[in-house]
Amino acid sequence: MQRIQDMLGYERLTQLLPTTKLDGRVITAILCGFGAGILLRKWLFRRQLQKKIAKAQEQRERLLEQMKAAVHRFKQKHPDIRAESILSLSLLELSEKLQEGTFSPENVLYTYMEQALKVNEELNCLTDFIPDCEEQLRELQKRKEKGLLYGIPVSLKEHYDYKNHVSSCGLVSFLGIPAKDDSVIVKVLKSQGAIPFVKTNVPQTMLSYDSSNVIFGKTLHPQNPKKSPGGSSSGEGALIAGGGSILGLGSDVGGSIRIPSSFCGICGLKPTASRLSFLGIPVPLPGMDTVTASLGPMARDVDSLALCMRALLCEELFHLDPSLPPLSFNDEVYASSKPLRIGYYESDGFSQPTPSMKRAIQQTKQLLEKAGHELIPFSVPRTEHMVYELFLGGIFADGIETLHDLLKNEMIDPCIHYLFRLSYFPAFVKRLLSFLLKPMVSEETLEAA
């Protein structure tokens, strides 16, 4: 009751109301009425959010049922298709068979659609099916030039715009706003003969290394459902590792391609910023000019990443987004066998690698040296300054006000709950906590652990 009185200004209320006619019980009843009104407003708002979530979930289920029906119709017409002969191939092998006509794009697409549905039942990694993929199949048959990704099914991280589909970024407030056009990357994929067919799950706000949001729920790790596939390109990592996609597109600002790729045992590439176009890629926190995100491919092996980059870095991309440097994929450098001078470090002096990570670095070093390359150790200068002042300072330069405005009308998912609550602490409390906790995570303490 005291809290309600404070919120509504009890002293002010008693001054304004005629005190001769109102005793304490009447004022208490009025205050209770105001409090009940506030609670009712919150309840109605939460109910409105739940309705939007339910509608999005129903839409997903309807599209996945449409996807199942399409696969069923195809299998009835083609009962002799052996899925394993397609799913077992690498991207390069599959591309070669599609280019020479040994496999048809139709057989490949529906095989991966069926496998994606199976993986989704176990891992909850799909947010959307793109029915337009069937129309694109028919268009491919009319084309004279096949393109480097001819007939390859491609999965997309949820925030890649696809015309008439929603890019929610795991946020309820972004629901109900379908994209008016394809993103530039989707257009280039189509021009190269690829077939985008599903979109995959992300954590709420995409500022988490976990994988959960209040709309579509939690995505599980393909080998261990008790573990996370990593974020924020979590659905991509899980789907590809589970065999439901042979090539996917993710995005990365602080590890969102690299972490799920590492967690799920696949390969991912974060290209240099502005190498691939961000036009048509919604983000929850616009204006991060000092820390720019990158788009990049995710697949089972490095050669697949190279093929995807070779296809994307084409004249079509540079025409659609003139702000990009018109630098095509350099096949001469990629195919060269000339020994390289490669710098490496086992620790950046800020965060310590786990023993397994350190061992992986050492083994990679040995293999590269065995292949004739020169490995040179180096230390990363001023890592702490870069992390706190440049990276985190750049992302949260506004004191997290944009994030607060974004989430104040959201239901907060557990995967970002701690970040959201901590962000409300006053600056002096954060500095005090940092001062008290810093000795507990020093380099000496971590090495002792």
Active site residues: 157, 232, 256
Tokens of 84: 């394993």
Cβ distance 87 to 111 under 8 Å?
Answer: yes
Q: Using CA atoms, how far apart are residues 196 and 248, in angstroms rounded to an integer?
A: 9
C-alpha distance from residue 84 to each of 89, 108, 111, 153, 250 (Å): 8, 11, 9, 16, 26
User: Do the bridges between strand 217-218 and strand 267-268 make them parallel or antiparallel, or are there none, so unpaired?
Assistant: unpaired
Q: Of the candidates 240, 236, 238, 231, which has an alpha carbon nearest to the alpha carbon of residue 213?
A: 231
| Distant-in-sequence, close-in-space partners of 331: CB < 8 Å, separation ≥ 6 | 310
Q: Which amino acid is at 238?
A: A
Cβ distance 225 to 344 under 8 Å?
Answer: no
